[in-house]
Structure formats: C-alpha cells, structure tokens
Amino acid sequence: MPELPEVETIRLGLDELIVGKTIDQVLVINPSSFPNKSVEVDRYLIGASVEKLKRRAKILIIDLSTEYALVIHLKMTGQLVYVNHQHRFGAGHPNDSLVGSLPDKSTRVILHFDDNSTLFFNDQRKFGWVKILPKYLLTDTNFFKLYGPEPLQKKFNLATFKSQLLKHSKTSIKAALLNQSIIAGIGNIYADESLWLARIHPKSLIIDLTDDDVARLFKSIIAVLKLSLQKGGSTSRNYLDAKGNKGNYLKFANVYGREGQPCLNCGQPIIKIRVASRGTHICLKCQQLK
Ligand SMILES: [Zn+2]
C-alpha cells in the first residue's frame, strides 16, 4: 500500500508537471472510483486549472483554480501516471502499469489536460478513489479531523509523539504506528522499518516502553521516512520518479520483505509474525519483547 513517502513522491513529481495546466476532459471508466456525479465533474473540473499539490497523511490533494480540489486516496493498489510527449512519471502501487501502455485494464479515471497531456488513475483492486470536494472542507477540523500529526512537519516533536502514544497506552506499538489518528501516513512497511531500527518488538505495549525507547523510535520514524523519500518511495522493478529514475528504497529495506534473510545488525534470520492483523517482519534477537 502506498504510504507517506510514496504519496509525497507523487506530490513532488506532479508539482513539477501539472501545475498551471487546465483540465479539458475527464473520462471515468469505473464510476465507483470517482463517485461524483457527471454534472459535478462538468461543472467543477472541466475548465479548472491545477493550482497546487498538497498531501495530508496518505491522501493527495490537487487544489484547483476554483473553490474545489481533487482529492485522491490510493489505498491498496492505486497509482498515478502522468504522460506527455516528453515525460512519463508514475508512482504509487508498483506494477507494470507504471511503465506499460495506458489506458490498461487497471485504469479507472483519465484526466486530460489542454496541452494534450494525460493523468491516469490506475487501481487494480479498486479500493482507491478520486473525489471532488470543496476546499473549505479539507481542513484538520473537517475532512482530516481523525488524522494525527504529520511526522515530517517541523512542529512534530518528541513531546507530541509521546503524548499521542500515551492516549493509547495499552495498545501494541505496531498497532499504534498504523493508527492514522496517532500519527499520519505510516503503514506496514515503515512501521516495521522504524521498529527494527529502534530495536523495539512490535508487540510491545506502549505502557511498557521507556522514555529512551520512545525517543529512539521517534528518531527512527523520521530517519526511515526521510531516507525513503530521498530514494523516491518504496519500489519494485518498475517504479519511476519524475525524472524517470527508478525508486529503490525496498532494495535497502532493513527488515520489510526480508523474511529468512540475515538481520543486518546481528545476522539472525528475520522472521515474519502477525501483529495488529498484519504480516510483521522482525529480528527476534534485536527486537526483544519486554
Ligand atoms: Zn538482529
């Protein structure tokens, strides 16, 4: 599932490519992926130009020149691919649609711009969505009221992190990291990577963590997200950033997807267990349960 670094990679890429462009045509191939009525699409989207790209948690917000914004959640398998005569930029769920000819069978929505470029919203499993929403609703007191702080914002500090965690002191730390109301944007990959780096067992209850554990985890989360962002988000073979470079984070993942391979810290094999109903990668020697 695309997490904060992947969505931020999309935001940065599209920010270079679509700002100022006017939408002149919209094709909705799968109506449940874009639940607005066609009259709303005609009225609020056609003729509007892109003003700004924003992100909150794992959600991408395309501010338009009108009172509206296009809001996109990639969920499990969503991806966005921008194509013009010079560039191709795709990010999100890593599969062949990022580089293959489009539209393909996973294409759900197509936005066409007045310079003859196109933005494809592809989503194999159809959990993702695109919606037109009024800008005034997209605030932390409305649409995003259930979302916690953004880990890469300067105002997110150790004290904030600690107080967010303590609201759920009897929860396992892995479940807490996945809970978007505690901290926004982290999913399974970055939860496992952060916990490994901080040497904390994912099943540890928050109440059992020391101040030192929480401080290490705080630093690890920031480090892991920043590293991934530098590498263009997580990847597999076909992941491309705005300049056509393949993202390569997962090649450097320390623990996620490395089941059976030696821990890069101690050499013990990484194992996969289940925590908070998610497959969880850990080193039992480095990440001991208290
Ligand atoms: Zn280890």
In this predicted model, what pLDDT tens digit does every residue of 207-240 receive, in sequence order?
999 999 999 999 999 999 998 888 766 543 345 5
Among all chains, which residue has been given the structure tokens 């623990």?
Answer: 255
Q: Which of 137, 171, 199 is the last residue before a domain boundary?
A: 137
- 13-27, 42-56, 76-90, 232-246: the lowest-pLDDT one: 232-246
Contact 104, 81 (CB under 8 A): no
pLDDT of residue 2: 87
Same domain, 44 and 167: no
Which pLDDT band holds residue 95 (cuts at 50, 70, 90)? confident
Residues 221 and 219: their CA atoms lie apart, in Å, by: 6
- Domain assignment present for residue 45? The answer is yes
149 alpha carbon to ligand 1 midpoint, in Å?
30
For the chain, the average pLDDT equals 92
Same domain, 95 and 191: no
Same domain, 203 and 276: yes
Same domain, 14 and 131: yes
Same domain, 99 and 199: no
Residues 226 and 233: their CA atoms lie apart, in Å, by: 9
Q: Pairing between strand 59-64 and 88-92?
A: unpaired
- Domain assignment present for residue 153? The answer is no
pLDDT of residue 266: 98
210 alpha carbon to ligand 1 midpoint, in Å?
20
- Domain assignment present for residue 290? The answer is no
Which pLDDT band holds residue 98 (cuts at 50, 70, 90)? confident
225 alpha carbon to ligand 1 midpoint, in Å?
21
Same domain, 9 and 124: yes
On the question of pLDDT at 249 being above 50, the answer is no
Residues 83 and 100: their CA atoms lie apart, in Å, by: 11
Same domain, 125 and 174: no
Contact 158, 198 (CB under 8 A): no
Residues 159 and 145: their CA atoms lie apart, in Å, by: 20
Q: Which of 137, 170, 198 is the last residue before a domain boundary?
A: 137
Which pLDDT band holds residue 92 (cuts at 50, 70, 90)? confident
Same domain, 114 and 56: yes
Contact 113, 254 (CB under 8 A): no
pLDDT of residue 237: 37
285 alpha carbon to ligand 1 midpoint, in Å?
5
pLDDT of residue 263: 98
Domain of residue 194: give its range.
158-282
- Domain assignment present for residue 142? The answer is no
- Domain assignment present for residue 81? The answer is yes
Q: What is the CATH number of the domain that holds 132?
A: 3.20.190.10
Q: Which of 105, 137, 169 is the last residue before a domain boundary?
A: 137
Same domain, 116 and 164: no
Q: Convert the pLDDT of each residue in 19-42 to its tens digit.
A: 999 999 999 999 999 999 999 999
- Domain assignment present for residue 150? The answer is no
Same domain, 250 and 197: yes
Q: Give phi and psi for 253, each to the nearest 5.
A: -60, 135
- 155: exposed, middle or buried (C-beta count within 10 Å: 0-12, 13-18, 19+)? exposed
- 65-79, 81-95, 266-280: the lowest-pLDDT one: 81-95
pLDDT of residue 93: 86
- Domain assignment present for residue 287? The answer is no
pLDDT of residue 85: 87
Strands, E, within 138-277: which ranges? Answer: 271-275
Query: What's the Rg (C-alpha) of the chain?
Result: 20
274 alpha carbon to ligand 1 midpoint, in Å?
18
pLDDT of residue 264: 96
262 alpha carbon to ligand 1 midpoint, in Å?
8
Q: Which residues are catalytic?
A: 2-3, 58, 278
Of 45, 48, 3, nearest in space to 28 by CA: 45
Contact 273, 132 (CB under 8 A): no
Q: What is the CATH number of the domain that holds 276?
A: 1.10.8.50
| Total tally of structural domains belonging to the chain | 2
Residue 60 contacts by C-beta under 8 Å, 6 or more apart in sequence? 7, 10, 11, 14, 53, 54, 71, 72, 73, 74, 80
CB atoms within 10 A of CB 262: 12
pLDDT of residue 238: 41
Same domain, 244 and 197: yes
Average pLDDT on 202-206 reads: 98
Q: Cα torsion at 193, 234, 153, 50 (round to 10°)?
A: -160
- Domain assignment present for residue 201? The answer is yes
3-state class of 212 per DSSP?
Answer: helix
The model's pTM is: 0.91
pLDDT of residue 88: 84
What is the maximal distance between C-alpha atoms in the chain?
60
pLDDT of residue 231: 76
Same domain, 11 and 129: yes
